[in-house]
Structure 1
């Protein structure tokens, strides 16, 4: 079974990593490559949100069946 304390550390580390990447992204010059990186960061953020939800479910938390606005926007 997953230790909830460790799980919280994983979530924090993942979010910190994405925050660091987003900070570095702001330093890039404008252009197609920056736009491509922005899309990849958004995909990474969505993946982190989905993994956090999966982890919460596996820890026994009941999840709302409502669509998450960020996830709904990213899907189309």
Structure 2
């Protein structure tokens, strides 16, 4: 699958709220919202891995958020 097809497919997964193209060992970082570990398992196994071109995944779970800082105008 080419990059554009992947991006269209990922954009159609309602659990995905952010998609970032990254440098390093991985190609993309997805931020997803799911309901618990069963929801995560379903998303990774049945939704994400079903997409053409997905060779492997790496999952990190956020336990809590210390803070989130909105960007100031003009700081982007």
TM-score by length of 1: 0.32
Whose strand proportion is higher, 1 or 2? 2
Whose helix proportion is higher, 1 or 2? 1
Q: Could you say which structure has the greater relative contact order, defined with CA pairs below 8 angstroms and 6 or more residues apart?
A: 1
TM-score by length of 2: 0.32
